Amino acid sequence: MRTWCKTWRFWLVGLILGLWGLQVLWLIWHFGPEARDLAQRAARGSLGGAIRQEDPLYRWATTLAGIIPESATYVFLDDYAAGKEIEVRYYLAPRRHILRPPEVPASFLFYALHQEHAAFLLIRESPKPLGPGARAAMHSLAFQPVNLPGPGLTFRVDYSRLRWGFYD
């Protein structure tokens, strides 16, 4: 009985180890493309900061960093789930960053800009049409478009001109 128990224990352990062997092979296959990318980049010497330069969002954000003072606040219109606003916030830190959804109504957007003393409004490019807040901003005198190439629109904001109350 004792020998039988030992035998099935070793069979079970053997099964786990066999499956693990297959797992290791699968892992090599799974990480293969990333390892290849790493090797190719190392061969080209395009690593570290050079990787960032390939990203248009990064190039846009670094240009913005030259325009937006470090003490300023900006409002960024984007979907949180897209994961791009966190990148822009990262590049523009320590500037104060306020996220609002692209479909934000004009009243909420104007209220946020006024209340937070925001000096800039950034709208990331999206295949969807602009929301009501962004459309209203384009026609308001409080917003001055800044001509910057990149995957988004930039407006300089004079929040003092957005002084009325909003009861949307």
Interface residues with other proteins (CB under 8 A)? 9-10, 12-13, 16, 19-20, 23-24, 26-27, 30-31, 34-35, 38, 41-42, 47-49, 51-52, 70, 83, 86-87, 89-90, 93-98
DSSP letter, residue 95: S
| Minimum gap (Å) between residue 2 Cβ and other proteins | 12
Residue 1 CB partners (closer than 8 Å, separation 6+): none
| Minimum gap (Å) between residue 63 Cβ and other proteins | 18
Q: Of the two residues 31 and 164, which places its CB atom closer to other proteins in the complex?
A: 31
Collect contacts of 80-87 with beta carbons under 8 A, ≥24 apart. Answer: 82/124, 84/57, 84/124, 85/124, 87/57, 87/58, 87/61
Q: Of the two residues 24 and 141, which places its CB atom closer to other proteins in the complex?
A: 24
| Minimum gap (Å) between residue 82 Cβ and other proteins | 11
Query: If you count them, how many residues does the chain have?
Result: 168
Q: Of the two residues 35 and 138, which places its CB atom closer to other proteins in the complex?
A: 35
CA 17 → CA 13, 25, 45, distances in Å?
6, 13, 39
| Minimum gap (Å) between residue 164 Cβ and other proteins | 26
Give the pair of three-digit tokens for residue 82: 């897209």
Q: Of the two residues 95 and 124, which places its CB atom closer to other proteins in the complex?
A: 95
